[in-house]
Structure 1
Amino acid sequence: MPGMQVDPPAGGPGQSACCHSLVRTLRDPLTLLLGRSSALDKLFADDDLKAMLPKMDNATEESMGDLSNPMVMRTYYSRLLPWKAMFLWLNQSYVPTRQFTHREFAFTLQNEAYLRYQSFAGADELKQEVLRLNPSRFEIGPMYSGRPKDRKALMKAAFRPMTRELVFDIDMTDYDSVRTCCKDKKMCSRCWKFITVAVKVLDEILRSDFGFRHILWVYSGRRGIHAWISDPAALQMTDEQRSAIVRYIDIVKGYTTMEKRMALHRPLHPTVERAYETCLRSAFANVVLKDQDCWKTDPHQWEQVLGLIPDKENVAELLKKFPASSTAPSIDRFKDLRKAHTRATPKQVERHDQAVQDLQIQYMYPRIDTEVSRKLNHLLKAPFCIHPGTGKVCVPILASQIDSFDPDTVPTVGKLLLELEELSRRGDTAADWGKTSLRPYVELFERHAEAVAKEKAREVKAAKAMSMEF
């Protein structure tokens, strides 16, 4: 049944079966789920996996990316996903520690069954289990006080989450009330600009206000982006501390539909003031007024915005000048909107100016999924998974390069397997991510993981030195 949680099938890696037996086995989804085929349990010796590719004539990116073919994901997991870098990033050391061995993993299988509380001794064991189960995706949770797979043998009070990365999730659907080019699950390079602005502002807050350094931004594969913060201080945060950071950042909560005015305190908080001056004001002009042309494209937004302005005499004039049938561009409307009524008192002018500024911030300030960040035990999709709806890889990106990032150029699993197929035709049957368009993303991830591990090593060294002094 979709969504049900089941225990993982038994079995393990061994000697490979022949290719024809493999194809016959993989055509039976029940066999794949329950692991009853000894041939399936013996498929995963690395030497044989290096040669695995979906076999088809006249291969195209679309055919090689057919996620209904079990060999597509299995080949991707075998030859392209950077397991060692994944291990180093989560473990923060080259030698397995509790940070990895006590870490929860969860798998979504091809039939939507959901396996939670999986844990592994190292990268190889995780890889082998992923190859065996062949999930559509997997998620990463916290490090627990005991190994998650042994939780049933532990007292309930003795099994609790201890550490995990501080994570944030920004989803394009939270901008549905203001973007005009797409809705729901659809996204294009135009509305992606809202995410671009959110990343710039949130990254600056996390670095400047909280001092975090090891922030990994990961494109979700369709219409959002995730942030993983691996600093020691972030890992050790309690639920209360995580919630406090969320409250510090989430100033737009409750005001995303533009039906209610977000009235900020004056003077503005330094964080909001900095964001407005360095990013939001110009972004509002470029994204809302020019590119999206929100108030011309969506007359209902124009009416909502006018309802947020306290200068009712000015609002009446603007409604008369720019009725619902008006084709005037948003930038012209904003010029008139900024001007307070000629008969307004100095106090009314001040309130009007503040309302206009609040409006710009309300449109462009980051909108985060607060529940993702509040709790230690929350799970989040792993980097380098494949989005089942788009076939795109969930690739890491740099906040400093977010302006040049185009989601449409992110490699799909079909593109990557087609690249492997072309290499195979030239005689290179053992090629991995290093010879594909995934390479720059993996190299970025490796650099990030190494930096995290070095920080952890310095912390351990300093703790040992301090203990020796006493």
Structure 2
Amino acid sequence: MPTAVRSTDLPPARPPPPDMDVDEDDDFELDKAMAGVEEARLQALDTSDPMVLLSYYRHLLPWKNIFLWLNRDVEGANMASTSSPGASRNFTHREFAFTLANEAYLRYNSYATWQELKRDVLRLNPQRFEIGPVYSAKPKDRKTVQKTSFKPVSREVVFDIDMTDYDEIRTCCSGKGICKRCWGFIAVAVEVLDQALRLDFGFKHLLWVYSGRRGIHCWISDEEACTLPDDARKAIVGWLEVIKGGASAVKKVNLAGSSTSARQLHPSLRRALDGSVDAVDGASDGPLKRAFVDIVLKDQDVFRDATGYNRLLALLPSVETEAIARLKSNWDAQPARSSLDKWQDIMTIAAKAGEMRARTTWRPAMEDIILQYTYPRIDAEVSKHMNHLLKAPFVVHPATGRVCVPLDPRQIHQFDPDSDAPTIGELFRDLNAAQKAGEVDDGAALKDNPTAWEHTRLKPFVQRFERHCSAIVRQTREAKRGQALDTMDF
């Protein structure tokens, strides 16, 4: 069983608008209006309509589950209960930040209960809200304490992967665009990081959340992770960071022993490449090698045009000048040659170079190329500091209307951001259909129903979130029981 992670045990790093004055208990007219919206208008629902977003916050966002997730330390919490379980400092001293429709940014908000948080969100109706760290004092009271004593003391370890960091290697989309094809880069990044964080660091409670547009976030809620200081977080990032260098850097992977001698990759990298830490000479395929063939070579066909294959040639062993010149000549003469064929050409040359040169020169270079094109590209600055704020799960992305939903890392490759992430319009169409079918009462009853999401396509995502929250609460209870037994041991 993995041991708790301590900073000293970490491995060395590798190279406001006017108030809307909305009362949750006095919203019958709004609910009635939303319940009666015609199908034609439902087709056009989006977050540009503040009433639509307000109705989403009121009826569909799973507030209590968000509370349980952040609170962690819950006595007698009942997932089916509508009452508020006791709030710990993990919630009452937590910072919430709001981005309003006029782009005003309100920070250092804190709340005693999830109902209080919900009321303030309904009052402000923000475009989105973000979650920050737990502070030494309640963030809303920060001006009443000494500035030096107000500091973050706990926060989930978070990771952010953004599709724009793959623009130089994806060929299907660019910028803010994303599709099922280039989602494959995100999927393999999740597969590799999830495995490394669980096996190499012993973390258990990882929540992967689609960002609503072109990326994904990871929240690690293990108690050992939440209390890590910034230097330990930086060490974890350094350990996981392999891709380095800006857009102008040709070679972004530089691992020791990559050109002059046989190298021993760290087990986590060997596992990601070959699927096993005991693999010898690339005898098997791990997630990165599979992704390189299936995504980079076959689907994206990254090396088909001259720009792509010239970049590939620049990553080959610089001492192999004759072989590189021969490859370039052949590829220039056959511009339609596929990326898969070009990679096969490289493998053929490497095989003919002799066992020693193949093992010490060609194979390391080829592994570095696979790493450069498939290894996770994380936004390191997001993960390094405890006081970083990150968009909350289940908020709606203002540009796409898609909900930021939790995903199962075991099914990450099947997810399609275009069709599988529910939009706010789809959710209200689902709710409207359920009302017409008699599954949900009219607006008068809806306002008292905290689980209206059960009648929409949001249901499987909330249920996944519930299971995640329950696991965290269960582990907290077990830890408390263990501490109580220890105190009775005499």
Q: TM-score, normalised by structure 2?
A: 0.84
Q: Determine the C-alpha separation between the residues in 2 that align with 1:54 and 1:113.
A: 31
Provide the C-alpha distance between the structure 2 equivalents of 1:257 and 1:383, rounded to a whole number of angstroms: 34
Name the residue aligned to 1:71: 51
Tell me by how many angstroms 1:457 deviates: 1.5
Aligned pair count? 433
Structure 2 unaligned runs (5+)? 1-15, 78-85, 257-262, 275-285
Give the residue type in structure 1 aligned to 2:416: D
C-alpha distance in structure 2 between counterparts of 1:98 and 1:425, whole Å:
43
Taking the aligned partners of 1:46 and 1:285, their CA distance within structure 2 comes to 58
CA deviations on 1:328-381 (whole Å, 9 max, x unpaired) are: 111000001123368856554331221011101111011100011110000000
User: Which one-letter code corresponds to 2:311 in the other structure?
Assistant: Q
Q: Does 1:155 align with 2:152?
A: no
Q: What's the CA shift for 1:55?
A: 6.3
Q: 1:428-469: per-residue Cα shift (whole Å, max 9, x none)?
A: 222610111100000110111111111111222222332344
Contact 2:206 2:220 in 1 (8 A): yes
**What is the CA–CA distance in structure 1 between the aligned matches of 2:333 and 2:206, rounded to whole Å?**
44
Give the secondary-structure state (helix, strand or coil) at the position aligned to 1:53. Answer: helix
One-letter code aligned to 2:159 = F
- Deviation at residue 58 of structure 1 after TM alignment: 4.2
**1:118-133 to 2 correspondence within 5 Å?**
118-133=109-124
Matched, 1:393 2:403: yes
Comparing both chains, which one has the higher relative contact order based on Cα–Cα distances under 8 Å and sequence gaps of 6 or more?
A: 2
CA contact (8 A) 1:201 1:279 kept: yes
Q: Give the 3 Å change call, closer, same or farther, for CA 257–275 of structure 1 in structure 2.
A: farther
Cα 1:422/1:324, change in 2 over 3 Å: farther
1:456 and 2:476 correspond: yes
In structure 2, the CA distance between the partners of 1:47 and 1:133, relative to structure 1 (3 Å rule), is closer
The residue that corresponds to 1:292 in the other structure is 300
| 8 A Cα contact 1:54 1:72, kept in partner | no
Confirm or deny: 8 A CA contact 2:22 2:123 kept in the other structure: no
Q: Secondary structure at the match of 1:33?
A: coil
Q: Is the 8 A contact 1:217 1:226 kept in 2?
A: yes
Partner-residue secondary structure (3-state), 2:97: strand
Alignment check: 8 A CA contact 2:171 2:302 kept: yes
Deviates more, 1:424-433 or 1:393-402: 424-433
Residues 302 and 46 of structure 1, relative CA distance in 2, 3 Å threshold: farther
Q: Is the 8 A contact 1:105 1:140 kept in 2?
A: yes
Give the partner amino acid of 2:307: H
2:381 aligned partner: 371
Where does the alignment leave 5 or more consecutive residues of structure 1 unmatched?
1-31
Picking from 335, 338, 344, the partner of 1:326 is: 335
Give yes or no for contact 1:197–1:364 (8 Å, CA) kept in 2.
yes
TM-score by length of 1: 0.88
Following superposition of structure 1 onto structure 2, how do residues 270-349 of structure 1 map, counting pairs within 5 Å?
270-277=267-274, 278-296=286-304, 298-310=305-317, 311-323=320-332, 326-340=335-349, 344=353, 347-349=356-358
2:277 counterpart of 1:267: no
Measured against aligned partners, the alpha-carbon deviations of 1:69-122 in whole angstroms (never above 9, x if no partner) come to 111110000000000100000001231010000000000001110000000001
- For residues 77 and 324 of structure 1, the distance between their equivalents in structure 2, rounded to whole angstroms, comes to 60
Contact kept? 2:208, 2:217, Cα under 8 Å: yes
Please say if residues 260 and 308 of structure 1, whose CA atoms lie closer than 8 Å, have aligned partners that are also in contact.
Answer: yes
Structure 1 counterpart of 2:344, one-letter code: K
Instruction: Describe the superposition over 1:301-324 as per-residue Cα deviations: whole angstroms up to 9, x where unpaired.
Output: 210110111222111011110018
CA distance in 1, matches of 2:362, 2:60: 55
Q: Which residue is equivalent to 1:205?
A: 196
Q: Deviations over 1:382-408 (max 9, x none)?
A: 000101111000000111111221212
* Matched-pair contact (CA < 8 Å) for 2:243–2:252: no
Once the 2 structures are TM-superposed, how far is the Cα of residue 271 of structure 1 from its aligned partner? Answer: 0.5
Cα–Cα, structure 1 residues 257 and 435, in superposed 2: closer, same or farther, change >3 Å? Answer: farther
Aligned to 1:17: none
Cα RMSD between the aligned structures? 2.0
Amino acid at match of 2:170: R
C-alpha distance in 2, partners of 1:104/1:261? 36
Q: Which amino acid aligns with 1:338?
A: M
How much does 1:34 deviate? 2.2
Q: Which stretch of the first structure deviates more once superposed, 323-332 or 93-102?
A: 323-332
Separation in 1 of the partners of 2:98 and 2:252?
42
Change (3 A) 1:183 1:325: farther
Assess, with a 3 A threshold, how the Cα gap between structure 1 residues 324 and 56 changes in structure 2: closer, same or farther: farther
**Residue 155 of structure 2, aligned match among 130, 154, 164:** 164
CA distance 1:347–1:441, change in 2 (3 Å): same
Name the SS of the counterpart of 1:294 in structure 2. Answer: coil
SS of 1:139's partner is strand
Structure 1: which amino acid aligns with 2:379?
D
Question: One-letter code of the match for 1:81?
Answer: L
Work out whether 1:89 is the aligned partner of 2:69: yes
Q: Give the conservation status (yes or no) of the 8 Å contact 2:303–2:309.
A: yes
**1:50, distance to aligned residue in structure 2 (A):** 4.8
Give aligned-pair identity as a percent: 48
Q: 2:174 and 2:333 mapped to 1: Cα distance?
A: 21
What is the identity, as a one-letter code, of the residue corresponding to 1:270? Answer: P
Q: 1:353 aligns with which of 352, 360, 363?
A: 363
Q: Does the C-alpha gap of structure 1 residues 360 and 211 become closer, same or farther in structure 2, counting only changes over 3 Å?
A: same
Secondary structure at 2:132 match in 1:
strand
**Aligned 1:190-269 pairs, distance under 5 A:** 190-254=181-245, 259-260=250-251, 262-265=253-256, 266-269=263-266
Q: Give, in whole Å, the separation in 1 of the partners of 2:138 and 2:479.
A: 24
Q: Does 1:466 align with 2:475?
A: no
